Amino acid sequence: MKCIVNRRSQFSSSHRYWLDELSEHENLRLFGKCARAPGHGHNYVLNVSLESELDPYGMVLNLTEAKDIIRREVVEPLDFSYLNETWQAFQATLPTTENVARVIWQRLLPHLPLINIQLFETPDLWADYQGNGMEAYLTTSAHFSAAHRLALPDLSDEANTEIYGKCSRPNGHGHNYRVEVTVKGEVDPRTGMLVDLGAMQGAIAQHVIEPLDHTFLNKDVPYFQSVVPTAENIVIHLCQLLRQPIDELGASLHKVKLIESPNNSAEVLAEELEEAAL
């Protein structure tokens, strides 16, 4: 039988988003603060996922060997480096998070049975790459605070308590919500971007954070006046809100995840939600 194992590594690097063929004004418009000289840095976290049949020793592969390969092929060349000048690939295509993940896949594929490369640039921004040409996934997160009450209006307080427990108390309760939005698209062969990150974050702020932050969902958001604002229903609504704005940016909405608390979260795949609507 097949099994998946994951190996985590870290490296610290700097980079700059800058295209010599563009003017300073054009670079600043396209890349914002990321175009500033001489660059900026990150503490990157790399998760390498490996899949294979179990060997006679009950392992996908020897993790000590995998660790050595990842260190030799990725960590040692990139740690404390200026990415733009480290590998030739980053001179042709800028070292964005999604492109670095893609190039790391290429470096490791001859040595390891890869299934996914996940690269965190910050805790709120990461990319996944699975070997599909220039296609990659980019995820960014945002936060909002809101209150809600879980109760069906046509049921008694006793009946609602039986269904929703403490969450049905009349005055509601609140959460610091974290929303993670994943988009899918083709990495541009020159800029390294699959989507304008600033525009994506702006769309999330406009369509999710601003309308929902510091609200009582049941009373302040028209959608939830007729829909119980469970985490599941909230994340479905967020997916509906974001699909068209993300499409307009030239990417495809892949997944939305809503973290209600450290113990509770819900997520939905945009493709499946669209199919269900049809």
Which candidate in 73, 98, 180, 260 is catalytic?
A: 260
Active-site annotation holds for 167: yes
Which candidate in 111, 135, 167, 186 is catalytic?
A: 167
DSSP string, the chain: -EEEEEEEEEEEEEE----TTS-HHHHHHHHGGGG-SS-EEEEEEEEEEEEEE--TTS-SS-HHHHHHHHIIIIIHHHTTEEHHHHSTHHHHS---HHHHHHHHHHHHTTTS-EEEEEEEEETTEEEEE-SSTTEEEEEEEEEEEEEE----TTS-HHHHHHHHGGGG-TT-EEEEEEEEEEEEEEPPTTT--SS-HHHHHHHHIIIIIHHHTTEEHHHH-GGGGSS---HHHHHHHHHHHHHHHHHHTTSEEEEEEEEEETTEEEEEEHHHHHHHH-
Active-site annotation holds for 40: no
Which candidate in 214, 248, 271, 272 is catalytic?
A: 214
Active-site annotation holds for 15: no
Catalytic residue numbers? 167, 214, 260
